[in-house]
Amino acid sequence: MKKYILGLFAVAVVASCVSNQERAMKSADKNLILKTANDNFAKKKWKNALALYDRLANLVAGTDDFPNVAFNTAYANYYDKNFRLAGNQFKNFAVNFPKDPRAEEAAYMAALCYYEGSMDYNLDQSTTQSAITELQEFLNNYPNSERSKNISTLIDELSYKLEFKAYENARQYFKMGEYKAANVALENVLEDFPSTKLRPQIYDYIIKSRYELATKSVYDLKDERIESALAFTRQIEKEMPNTELAKTALDIREKLEKEKKDFVVVKKQTEAKIAALTERQKKLQAQNDEKTKTEQQMKDQVEAEKKATQIRRDSAAINTPPPAATFKIQR
């Protein structure tokens, strides 16, 4: 019997709540809507509260109730995980009500909303960039705030996400065998994030990329790429002595030294072949030049003989006297 009564009481309470929400949603009474919205907010019924706060926006505009409605609306969206919307609302509150005692809290919550809205590293990171900007802005505006103590930690966390995404993108080039692109992309990560915690992993992929480039290089670039890879092995040993990466660098350097010696032999053989081929081409060219010269001389001789013959003919025509005059006998 007792359970039955409690059940009826619970049903009555729920019915009452639903009735209050419906009544407020249909009402034009600002005070009723505000009270019901605040009750829902206190009971953490975020969606119900938001539905009513949305109705209140125009009703309380320009009144003393507006700041509280705006502040609660932002928090309700935050707890309802509408982080981007909540972030904009908190930021607007901090800008529009700078003298309100809650302005600092609103600015902090705006930055926190952007932080919460940051996407996973493998997705678009524009929200992460925005979050870092907002967090840094709060740090600049409220350097002595108690809330600033964890801001640097949050910024570091978001920065690492950007680092890791850039690192993963560069690593994909290596996996695809695009070693030149991988080397460039990995060096860009170091340039963009000089304090990155991923430096050992990045160095590992850079030296492997350079090794692959050197051993699989075209003839004209092989010397340069071998030297580049060797130089990087020495850089690793200098910056990270007595590490596994330094051991890897030493192992790769030994392979590169052997590759360098082998290439010296190949280079000499190639240069000898090129020299022999060049000499043969010179001889062939000389023979062709001589043949061309002989042919031209013969051609010139023929032309000269033709001219001489023509001159003799012209001279004979000039020296031959005209035939004697003939007279017709008149009949």
- What tens digit of pLDDT does each residue of 152-182 get? 889 999 999 999 999 999 999 999 999 999 9
Compute the CA torsion angle 316, 318, 324, 327 (nearest 10 deg): 130
Q: What is the mean pLDDT of residues 84-94?
A: 94
Contact 40, 69 (CB under 8 A): no
Query: Which of the four pLDDT bands, split at 50, 70 and 90, describes residue 292?
Result: confident
Take residue 321 and report the two structure tokens written for it: 């006297």
Residue 239 to residues 169, 233, 235, 245, 278, Cα–Cα distance (Å): 25, 10, 6, 10, 47
Please give the pLDDT value at position 306: 84
pLDDT, tens only, 6-38:
444 444 444 444 578 888 787 767 888 889 989
pTM: predicted TM-score of the whole model, two decimal places: 0.65
